[in-house]
Amino acid sequence: MAAPTHDRQNPAFFALIAVLIFMSVGPVLLLLANSLKLDVDITSGAGGLLFMPTIRNYETALCDILWYQPEHLRFCQIRFGGAFINSIIIALVSTALTLIMGTMAAYALVRFRFMGRDSLSLSTLAVRMIPPAVLLVPVFGLWNNAFCLDRDGLVGGMIREIFGGRGDVCLAGTHSGIILIYVAMNLPFVIWILQSFIVQVPYSLEEAARVDGAGPFQTFFLVVLPLIKPGLAAAAIFTFRIAWNEYLLASALADRNTMTVPILIVNNASEFDGLGTIFATGMLLAIPPILFTLFASRQIITGMTAGAVKG
């Protein structure tokens, strides 16, 4: 019987909410609807919701990774599928690495006492203040020339034998090269954000775990890590989105085979034929961050440490 205690809301309030929902969800729905239309339907101006849905646009967009040749295509012009997979690999791996290293670094900075701890903690943020564009030229040079394995050397030769290709084995043009720079770019912020979460885990919990017989790693993984899940989720969303959308560094460091979706779209803007394909690629581009964010945000539960200690 909660109803009588509620005040009756002004109808205008509901209208306002409806408008807000429409504004935020509308464009996505429009994107989805149009991606399922033929070009003629999109441009006919009717704009109606009555149309025959087709996956043809998606076939066009993903033609390079489909196992069959779509009927309406004479040849596969845009290699969107490959770039899409590159993007997913790079975003996921760099997010995972950033979180692993970030959590451990943040934990050490919060819990261990060592010389220069405070200045180290601050300097992580200072790194963050450098715009990525400044990094571009030196990183480009290093990745192309400095960090290379001789193609006649043992490891370099092996890589060339297995993966093929010419020249010395360099970081430029590899997934690892891009992942590395994304990890370096995101790590300071992740360390910084996780520090504030780890500080909130009561130290007596860790002491209790030690008395209960947990070693340092068990304490970290069984007690601390579950409690900073919300922080991990926030950091993961942040890192994933940056890695997914980043253009500048990836455009300089990627080659034909490792380019990510943003690069592909810019490079091939003129080659997209038809609005339908653009909508379909837009939709595909939006799905991973949406899924990832939905998944990660479910971990963000407030009051995670409630009941741990007398507060």
Partner 1 sequence: MPRIRLEGLVKRYGAVEVLHGIDLDMAEHEFTVLVGPSGCGKSTTLRMIAGLESVSGGEIWMGDREVAALDPKDRDIAMVFQDYALYPHMNVARNMSFSLRLQKRPQAEIDKRVREVAEMLGLSAFLDRKPGELSGGQRQRVAMGRALCRDASTFLFDEPLSNLDAKLRGQMRAELAVMRQTVKKNMIYVTHDQIEAMTLADRIVVMHGGHIQQQGTPSELFRRPANKFVAGFLGAPPMNFLEVDLSEEGGVLRATGRGFALALPEALADRARGAAMRKATLGIRPSDLDFAPAATTDRALDLRVVVSEYVGAQSVLICDCGGARVTVEIKSETPVALGETLRFGVRPEGLHLFDPETERAL
Q: Any idea which residue has 């939905």 for tokens?
A: 294
Rounded Cα–Cα distance for residues 194 and 107 (Å)? 8
Rounded Cα–Cα distance for residues 120 and 114 (Å)? 10
Q: Does 215 bind partner 1 (CB under 8 A)?
A: yes
Q: Does 6 bind partner 1 (CB under 8 A)?
A: no
Number of amino acids touching partner 1 (CB under 8 A): 25
* Token pair for 193: 């954000």
What is the SS3 assignment for 149? Answer: strand
Nearer Cβ to partner 1 (212/273): 212
Quick one: which segment of 11-19, 24-32, 202-210, 241-249 binds partner 1 (CB under 8 A)?
A: 202-210
- Kind plus residue range of the DSSP H or E element containing 148: strand 148-149
Q: Does 202 bind partner 1 (CB under 8 A)?
A: yes
In 3D, which of 285, 287, 271, 276 has the Cα closest to residue 56?
Answer: 276
Interacting residue with partner 1 among 4, 11, 48, 213 (CB under 8 A): 213
- Kind plus residue range of the DSSP H or E element containing 248: helix 248-253
Tell the smallest beta-carbon distance from residue 213 to partner 1 (Å): 4
In 3D, which of 296, 171, 144, 148 has the Cα closest to residue 231?
Answer: 296
Interacting residue with partner 1 among 31, 108, 148, 205 (CB under 8 A): 205
Nearer Cβ to partner 1 (31/308): 308
Q: Does 113 bind partner 1 (CB under 8 A)?
A: no
User: What distance lies between CA 227 and its chain's CA centroid?
Assistant: 23
Interacting residue with partner 1 among 158, 204, 287, 294 (CB under 8 A): 204
Helix and strand counts by DSSP (H, E) for the chain: 15, 2
Q: Any idea which residue has 């205690």 for tokens?
A: 5
Q: Does 11 bind partner 1 (CB under 8 A)?
A: no
Q: Does 307 bind partner 1 (CB under 8 A)?
A: yes
Q: Does 214 bind partner 1 (CB under 8 A)?
A: yes
Instruction: DSSP for 63-86, please give it.
Output: GGG-SS--TT-SS----HHHHHHH
Rounded Cα–Cα distance for residues 292 and 236 (Å)? 9
Tell the smallest beta-carbon distance from residue 221 to partner 1 (Å): 12
Burial of 289 (0-12, 13-18, 19+ CB in 10 A): middle
Q: Would you state the torsion angle of the CA atoms of residues 49, 272, 77, 161, taken in this order, to the nearest 10 degrees?
A: -110
Nearer Cβ to partner 1 (147/203): 203
Tell the smallest beta-carbon distance from residue 32 to partner 1 (Å): 38
Q: Does 300 bind partner 1 (CB under 8 A)?
A: no
Quick one: which segment of 86-94, 154-162, 165-173, 199-207 binds partner 1 (CB under 8 A)?
A: 199-207
Question: What character string, x for contact with partner 1 (CB under 8 A) and - otherwise, covers 222-261?
Answer: xx--xx----------------------------------
Tell the smallest beta-carbon distance from residue 210 to partner 1 (Å): 5
Using CB under 8 A, list all residues that contact partner 1. Answer: 202, 204-205, 207-215, 218, 222-223, 226-227, 303-310
